[in-house]
Chain A
Amino acid sequence: MLSYDAYITRRAHWLDLRKKRRTSSGARAEAFAKQAAAVNRTFYEDRVRGFGQTVLRWSLTDQGLRERLALFWADHFTTVGKSAPQRSATSIYIDAAIRPNLSGRFADLLIAAVTHPMMLAYLDQQTSVGPGSVYAQRQSKLRGLNENLAREVMELHTLGVDGPYTQADVRQLAELFTGLGISKTGALQFNQRRAEPGSESVLGRSYGGDPARLEPVLQVLRDLAVHPATADHIARKLAVHFVSDTPDSGLVDHMAARFLATDGDLRAVYTAMLEHPAAWDDGPGNVKPPFDFVASACRALAVPQDRLQDAPVRQTNRLLVQPIGVMGQSWQRPSGPDGWSEEDTAWVTPQGLSARLRWAMAVPRRLLPELPDPRQFVTDALGATAPEPVRFAARAAETRAEAVGLILSAPAFQRR
């Protein structure tokens, strides 16, 4: 995968070609357009390859929890690219901001995600300007606040929508965030000239002052990260994701208490979850979202590495990326900053299920040189305790493709 810097360099090249195309004419303009389209194509290819690589990690890892946590937090801190280049960079953002912070302090994860240029661009922070700033006085294009990031940081990332904040807090946090921007080289940059002068009051505490600096922005994030409402919000969301759509309240309280006691030490919070008996209750597990379904199927089928990593982009798109979109989960393109649904009922719809079954029957034989023996595969995929109806179906299907499809379609496989 590209580094973020390499991505920025390529993006600058693309922007430059587009500019040259606009400012020239005739054959020259056409040549630039062609070159820009070729670079644009590489962004698309990177996006599809990012998918293949993520599936590969799921296929090969011996730390499954880590891969699931990466997906969970990437979703909690959703960013969606608004252009082809940006869409190719979501995996890069996850590698840079999310994955290094999966099991440290929540504050570090929060700061890494919220101040990453991908997030600043997605939630419009980089163009938000203090109305009283030097910048706003001197030019007319950008002259005021944009509340988007400030609201979502409190509503989605930290306190939760029922948290103790008001519209005034959103406004004050938006003022405090002014100055957070992106440099010409694509890095986080604090731009003092754009920052609103004076201090801001968020949840009753005063932050910042003159001259404006980055530090108070980091401080408010550190404070929000350890707020009791944040502890509750994060504990519940983890429990819903990893245990059940309707988690035991004792489990959630136990995790929230550990969060508070450790100032948001995520490893300790995961431990609290896993040591609680309610995390091990019997009963149907959560339904795998489409990506998890497809990735875990690839793991069970032991799809060869070259089919995931080096396959033609068109083929990966047709066999893997497009299908999860039809299952209801367009790869890295949720419709809003709240990410994907945690509810099983969002995925097990007639149309979503139809796409899952079609995938299970049609795609494995296109990914493998030879399909496995269904009688063995039922145990490989579901273990020794595979339900008898699934074993029967594996024996009774008319074709190998249908048998493998039936095994992957079984609720025992589609649930965790």
Chain B
Amino acid sequence: MIKTLSRRAFLARSAVLGCSAAASPFLTRVSYAAAPWDTRLVVIILRGGMDGLDVVQPYGAPGYGALRRDLAGGPTRGASDLDGFFALHPALAPLMPLWARGELGFVHAVSTPYRDKRSHFDGQDLLEAGTADLGMVRDGWLNRMLQLVPGVEAQTAFALGHGEMKVLAGQAPVADWSPEAELSMSPQAERLMEMVMQDDPLFHPALTEALMLSRGTSMAVVGDMAGGDDGEGMMQPPRAAAGKGMVPVAQFAAEQLRGDSRVVSFSINGWDTHRNQGRVLGGALGNLAETITTLKDGVGAEVWGKTAVVAMTEFGRTVHENGTGGTDHGTGGAMVLAGGALRGGQVHGRWPGLDEASLYDRRDLMPTGDVRAAAAWILRGVAGLDRAGLERSVFPGLDMGDDPRLLR
């Protein structure tokens, strides 16, 4: 069983070993030094297995029409033509202006090293661990990247939302937060709360971080703090952030990235399209499009010019449509890239073909590239990491191969 440890769990462990958690610079309220680098990185985990073939539709490929009957795509079915061979799913049409400006791209026919069992959960664990197998993973690749960069502070990186982001779990400081999470207590209640939790290795660091993040993030106020049925200053029941879908998360992310934060990661769920894929995938892609446009509008033109958004999924889906207007778990899939820092306007990757002999296990798109290699090249450009560190520490054992030139 894979076990990733969060920053707090690491601290908890060191507390048990007798090192003082309070002595950690992470737990003191320091003002930020300048951010360690300038490019902004947003890593979105698309959970459920996105059907890359229906997102970036190879309508020019021989055999495509026969494989996808109900799910037929291409420009004649409402998709936006990308390059005469690939077309973009209609639900991503709001992103076509980005494509035209070279700020939206894709990497096709990529996968993690995960093969054959096709489990979402192991697949996601491996995607986030960034390792070749699930043997001894303790942290996520995005956290290991932060471990290599000097000057990483408590709010350099954010893991947003309520689901676990194992990709950011590990020893480097990461802020776990959610837009609606502000905690504000009377000074006396705060002191007593610290006291009540002080001996617990899990609760105490989480409390400290919650209080620190509540002070450090500016737009977290939600609900009727003043007014309501209890008058000003009284604690209100927790409630979800106002706004539809991923919009509050994307707005919050943009707010942080405009400042000193450099890495944000969160999940978008809803890609497991076994059935009724036409409708279900459209919904998930609409969510993704809205997330990207909210990020872009939120960070503003200047920061968007140095932002890289990378969306990746645990696996692609079967090349054949299944019996129920959907697709089952597969292997090769696609990555979505957006932002002015990336070299968009093209579909990267080596196209394997759809004829039966070219498929993986005669059912899935053959992966011709490793999502980790694409991610590694992006990290190299974003944070100026060297290849040796990436291949040894961030993605142990990875051969990055030739530079696919994913960044501008």
Contact = CB atoms under 8 A, between A and B. Distances in A.
Contacts of B239: 318, 322-323, 326
B275 to A, nearest CB: 4
Interface in A134-180: 136, 141-148, 151, 155, 161, 166-167, 170
Given A336-B120, A357-B193, A351 B181 contact: yes
A398 B237 CA distance: 19
> By CB atoms of chain B within 10 A, which of A146, A349, A357, A397 has the most?
A349
A361 B185 contact: yes
A406 B213 CA distance: 20
B10 to A, nearest CB: 10
Interface in B224-242: 234-240
Contact of B324 (A142, A326, A353, A414): A142
Contact of B269 (A127, A335, A350): A335
B240 A326 contact: yes
Chain B interface mostly: loop
B356 interface: no
A390 interface: yes
Nearest to A174: B328
Given A124-B324, A284-B200, A322 B240 contact: yes
Interface stretch (A84-92, A218-226, A271-279, A339-347): A339-347
A161 B177 CA distance: 31
A328 B181 CA distance: 11
A327 interface: yes
Question: Which size bracket describes the interface of A in this complex?
Answer: 35 or more
Interface string B200-239: 1011001101100110000000000000000000111111
A406 B193 contact: yes
B176 interface: yes
A70 interface: no
Interface in A396-412: 396-398, 401-402, 405-406, 409-411
A361 B210 contact: no
Given A131-B323, A145-B323, A167-B361, A351 B120 contact: no
A338 interface: yes
B96 interface: no
B181 A335 contact: no
Contacts of A328: 162-163
B326 interface: yes
Interface stretch (B1-9, B31-39, B397-405): B1-9
B200 A151 contact: no
Contacts of B329: 147, 151
A350 to B, nearest CB: 4
A161 B118 CA distance: 10
B192 interface: yes
A402 B189 contact: yes
A161 B202 contact: no
B198 A397 contact: no
Contacts of B176: 349-351
Question: Which size bracket describes the interface of B in this complex?
Answer: 35 or more
B330 to A, nearest CB: 11
B323 A146 contact: yes
Contacts of B189: 361, 397-398, 402, 405-406
Given A354-B181, A354-B183, A397-B192, A344 B202 contact: yes
A335 B163 contact: yes
B380 interface: no
B119 interface: yes
A146 B326 contact: yes
Given A354-B181, A355-B181, A361-B189, A349 B206 contact: yes
B323 A341 contact: no
A194 B164 CA distance: 40
22 contacts: A124-B275, A142-B324, A144-B324, A146-B274, A146-B326, A147-B329, A151-B119, A325-B240, A326-B180, A336-B121, A345-B9, A348-B8, A348-B202, A351-B210, A353-B203, A354-B182, A361-B189, A389-B198, A393-B192, A397-B192, A405-B235, A414-B203
Given A145-B323, A354-B183, A358-B235, 4 more contacts: A144-B324, A146-B324, A351-B177, A405-B235
Interface of A: 123-124, 127-129, 131, 136, 141-148, 151, 155, 161, 166-167, 170, 284, 287, 318-319, 322-323, 325-328, 335-336, 338, 341, 343-346, 348-355, 357-359, 361-363, 366, 387, 389-390, 392-393, 396-398, 401-402, 405-406, 409-411, 414
Nearest 6 Cβ contacts at the A-B interface = A144-B323, A351-B181, A350-B210, A351-B178, A328-B162, A411-B200
